Copies of this chain bind each other. A is one copy, B any other.
Amino acid sequence: MKILLVVCDGLGDRPIKELNYKTPLAAAEKPNLEKLSLIGVKGIMDTVAPGVRPGSAPAHLAIFGYDPEKYYTGRGVFEALGLGLELKEGDIVFRFNFATVDDKMVVVDRRAGRISERTVELAKALNDISIQGVELVFKEAVEHRGVLIMRGEGLSWKVSDTDPGKTGLRVGKCKPLDSSPEALKTASLVDMVVEESYKILKDHWVNRDRIKQGVPPANVVLPRGASILTKVEGFKERYKLKASCVAGGTLYKGVAKFAGMNVLNVAGATGTYETNYKAKVEASLKALKETDFVFLHFKQADLAGEDGDYKRKIEVIQRIDEALKPLTVLDDTLIVVTADHSTPCSIKTHSADPVPVMICGEEVRRDCIEGFDEVKAAKGGLNRIRGLDLIRILLDIVNLAEKYGA
């Protein structure tokens, strides 16, 4: 039996007065999720732990069965993997912003005017920075963002950020966060990187051009969120599952890559409101033919939650539901629908409210709860589980769980 795990990012919500205290999921028309619910068991899930408000990366790690306490040091590693960079065990990975500083290294714009073009040229130039004993890789990401890999002996991820957090302040010195010689060394390397980046970027043609156009030059990089790649067994070794990922956002691709999944590139899968929902489902169904496990990620409910737009949240849930129609006639596949965290429209950010989860298939105990929303799920046969439980429960249903004792 195969497994299709559909994660609707930020799906969970709180009651909305205008919806007569229903949540967007409860208010949405969702005939396909409802049809699936008839052959499913439902529950609520604390992806990290009850009352813990998780970021997306630790939440996905937990859902994939990787304890975030052990494997999550920061988002950089997953962003880098999601951008397609190859990482080695022990690599220190930073996220960075392209920013604008004056000649006294005072920050004028923390995002270099939200630069969104030709950062590929800037990153290419930065890759000329040479510091003895350490290998550096710069890679641009969305808009003013990028990642920096630092590779070498005796490095640590226990170092502070350099972004002073607001304009008008000098770029911060990177500080070691523990007393190890590794942290001390890494902090001083980060300071050198910042300095060297300014030397290279200040007269780069892209920036001369930007100044001419009257927009802030991207003349420095500000590393933050140091993280380390820990060695880990992928889905294949860990669970005997050949796994694929269909996602738009870099972070989700990165976590999937970390877990050893084959990350598919699907035309139109963008991680934005404009994503091609149906293309993603089609790609997932195709991938299921060749792999045992497919992780299908939809970002849009989270975007609507962060926008505080419950109407849009209902709309994207309905579009996801529509796209999921082919799942209602699948044979020999366990369908799982859940979220990584709640993003209530009322607070426009992640909350710890447990997420609904539904596991559907012939072998699943039907709990006689019709429909799928936060309140109905809480009455379901799974009761309240934790993120780390999910993959083990799925492995058991497809009869891949190892026996504990005799």
Contacts and interface: CB of A to CB of B under 8 A. Distances in A.
Contact of A379 (B350, B353, B379): B379
B365 A353 contact: yes
A224 to B, nearest CB: 10
B363 A368 contact: no
A54 B50 CA distance: 21
B365 A53 contact: no
Contacts of A276: none
Interface stretch (A277-285, A302-310, A328-336, A381-389): A381-389
Contacts of A48: 404
B365 A396 contact: no
Interface size class of A (residues with CB under 8 A): 35 or more
Contacts of A404: 48, 52-55, 58, 68
A177 interface: no
A351 B396 contact: yes
B364 A375 contact: no
Contacts of A385: 50, 384
A377 to B, nearest CB: 9
B364 A403 contact: no
A401 interface: yes
Contacts of A350: 403
Q: Which 5 pairs of residues, A with B, have the shortest CB-CB distance?
A: A51-B392, A55-B405, A383-B384, A352-B396, A58-B405
Nearest to A39: B21
A393 B56 contact: no
Given A395-B51, A405-B75, A364 B15 contact: yes
Interface string A389-402: 11111111101011
Nearest to A51: B392
Interface in A279-329: none
A104 B75 CA distance: 60
29 contacts: A17-B362, A23-B365, A49-B389, A49-B392, A50-B386, A51-B389, A51-B390, A52-B392, A53-B404, A54-B403, A54-B404, A54-B405, A55-B403, A56-B406, A57-B405, A344-B363, A346-B363, A347-B399, A351-B396, A351-B399, A352-B393, A352-B401, A353-B365, A365-B374, A365-B378, A378-B380, A378-B383, A383-B383, A384-B385
A175 interface: no
Interface in A211-228: 225
A75 B56 CA distance: 42
B14 A363 contact: yes
Interface in A331-373: 344, 346-347, 350-353, 362-368
A48 B49 CA distance: 16
A50 to B, nearest CB: 4
A363 B351 CA distance: 12
